[in-house]
């Protein structure tokens, strides 16, 4: 092989490698743009299924809840890339040069959060394949604040239902307080006290803002899929509270606020309380958060600090 042919072959190999690397960049950008929605879909699936799948005692079921969410997120990531709507072969120029990304997998555990795949560059003369690993992370910063009550919220109790329960609210969500069957609501905002007594189960898919006290008694369960701002906790009986996002309490928990045979509080995100209007960390809710070892933001992103790893296969 003469030197000119050798040079051309090296150029073709380098070009094919560049194409494979373009596939890595393409996939990384797509994942970065969509990971929040992918994770949000997994969150909603979890909150919808948690009450029936894990029962009322969220504390003992914590590991199962975490593992189930991880598996939902893994599956959602793989489905995103294996869906027919995803373009896995991309033409780069009119000569037919292209890259193909394939073999997607996701691993989400308490120690490893990674998306892996292969990318093949092809310029019709040479092919080069690389494997890539994209690290994911729970975003380190919390964004929870004390929200105002938006117009058109699905459930708005102007003064709370703690007095006589006669305030006007969405009938579907009212069933979640007044009937035994689990009821799913999108978002709940209450300016006053929210009273849940007897045998009740309420599932809220998104954020929750309770201006007054959350007063729960009997056998009651509250599953919150987003962040929660609550004026005060008053729990009595067999009570379970599960918060997927962050929790902000306007008043710290006092010893006389909690009375009962079984009180399970599980906050997967970060916990805070207000002191003179200033948000302060409340890491384990004074020793009462059974999920404190998992606490951290529930928003996902690519871990740019670790960087994408590329291995050259052929």
Question: 52-79 burial, b for 16+ CB within 10 Å, e for fewer?
Answer: eebebebbebbeebbebbbebbbebbee
Burial 187-223 (b: 16+ CB within 10 A, else e): bbbbbbbbbbbeebbbbbbbbbbbbbbbbbbebbbbb
Q: What is the mean pLDDT of residues 100-114?
A: 93
| Residue ranges of domains in the chain | 3-139+299-312, 155-294
Of residues 291, 296, 300, the one with CA closest to residue 267: 291
Tell me which residue of 241, 234, 245 sits closest to 272, measured CA to CA: 245
Rounded to whole angstroms, how far apart are CA atoms 300 and 38?
9
Place of tokens 């960049």: 25
Q: Using one digit for the tens of pLDDT, what is the confidence trace for 202-252?
A: 888 888 888 888 988 888 888 888 889 999 999 998 888 888 888 999 999
Give the per-residue pLDDT at 187. Answer: 77
Give tens-digit pLDDT for 14-38: 999 999 999 999 999 999 999 999 9
Of 43-47, 129-133, 143-147, give the range with the top mean pLDDT.
129-133
Tell me the average pLDDT across 270-275: 89
Q: How far is Cα 56 from Cα 238, in angstroms, rounded to an integer?
A: 9
Mean pLDDT calculated for residue range 67-88 = 92
Mean pLDDT rounded to a whole number for the chain: 81
CA distance 142 to 148: 18
Q: Rounded to whole angstroms, how far apart are CA atoms 289 and 117?
A: 37
Question: 65 pLDDT exceeds 60?
Answer: yes
Q: What is the pTM of this model?
A: 0.78
Query: Cα–chain-centroid distance for residue 13?
Result: 42
- What is the mean pLDDT of the segment spanning 26-53? 89
State the pLDDT at residue 181. Answer: 59
Q: Which of 40-49, 57-66, 146-155, 175-184 has the lowest mean pLDDT?
A: 146-155
More confident residue, 166 or 92: 92
Q: Calculate what percentage of the chain has a pLDDT beyond 90.
A: 36
Alpha helices in the chain (DSSP H): 3-54, 62-82, 171-178
The pLDDT value recorded for residue 158 is 42
**14-24: b (≥16 Cβ within 10 Å) or e:** ebbbebbbbbb
Whether 95 shows a pLDDT value over 60: the answer reads yes
E strands, the chain, in order: 89-91, 98-108, 113-122, 127-138, 155-157, 183-185, 188-190, 194-196, 199-204, 208-224, 228-243, 247-249, 258-267, 271-275, 278-281, 300-302, 309-312
Beta strands 228-243; 208-224: pairing state:
parallel
Distance CA 168, CA 229 (A): 21
State the Cα–Cα distance between residues 74 and 34, nearest whole angstrom.
14
More confident residue, 149 or 37: 37
* pLDDT over 70 percentage in the chain: 79
What pLDDT, on a 0 to 100 scale, did the predictor assign at position 287?
A: 78
Model confidence pLDDT, tens digit, residues 275-294: 988 889 987 787 788 876 66
Residue 7, burial from CB neighbour count under 10 angstroms (0-12, 13-18, 19+) = exposed
pLDDT given for residue 219 in this prediction:
83
Residue 259, pLDDT score: 85
Predicted confidence at residue 174, as pLDDT, reads 53
Q: Is the pLDDT of residue 93 over 80?
A: yes
In the prediction, which pLDDT does 312 show?
A: 95
Q: Does pLDDT of 190 surpass 70?
A: yes
Q: 35: helix, coil or strand?
A: helix
- Weakest-pLDDT range from 122-126, 128-132, 282-286: 282-286
Higher pLDDT, 12 or 116: 116
User: What is the model's pLDDT at position 201?
Assistant: 78
């Amino acid at each position: 092989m003469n030197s000119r042919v050798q040079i051309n072959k090296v150029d073709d190999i380098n070009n094919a490698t560049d194409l494979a690397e373009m596939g890595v960049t393409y996939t990384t950008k797509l994942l970065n743009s969509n990971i929040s929605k992918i994770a949000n879909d997994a969150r909603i699936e979890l909150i919808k299924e948690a009450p029936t799948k894990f029962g009322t005692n969220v504390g003992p079921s914590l590991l199962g809840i975490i593992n189930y969410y991880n598996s939902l997120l893994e599956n959602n990531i793989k489905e995103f890339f294996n869906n027919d709507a995803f373009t896995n072969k991309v033409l780069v120029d009119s000569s037919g040069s292209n890259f193909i990304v394939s073999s997607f997998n996701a691993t989400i555990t308490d120690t490893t959060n990674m998306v892996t795949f292969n990318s093949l560059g092809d310029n019709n003369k040479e092919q080069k394949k690389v494997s890539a690993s994209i690290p994911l992370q729970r975003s380190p910063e919390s964004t929870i604040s004390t929200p105002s009550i938006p117009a058109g919220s699905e459930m708005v109790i102007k003064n709370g239902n703690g007095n006589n329960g006669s305030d006007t609210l969405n009938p579907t969500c009212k069933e979640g307080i007044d009937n035994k069957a689990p009821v799913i609501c999108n978002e709940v905002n209450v300016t006053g006290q929210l009273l849940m007594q007897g045998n009740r189960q309420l599932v809220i898919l998104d954020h929750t803002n309770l201006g007054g006290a959350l007063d729960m008694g009997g056998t009651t369960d509250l599953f919150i899929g987003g962040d929660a701002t609550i004026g005060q906790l008053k729990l009595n009986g067999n009570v379970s509270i599960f918060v997927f996002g962050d929790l902000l309490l306007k008043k710290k928990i006092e010893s006389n606020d909690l009375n009962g045979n079984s009180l399970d509080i599980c906050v997967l995100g970060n916990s805070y309380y207000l002191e003179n209007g200033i948000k302060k960390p409340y890491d384990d809710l004074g020793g009462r958060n059974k999920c404190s070892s998992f606490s951290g933001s529930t928003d996902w992103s690519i871990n740019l600090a670790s960087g994408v790893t590329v291995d050259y296969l052929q």
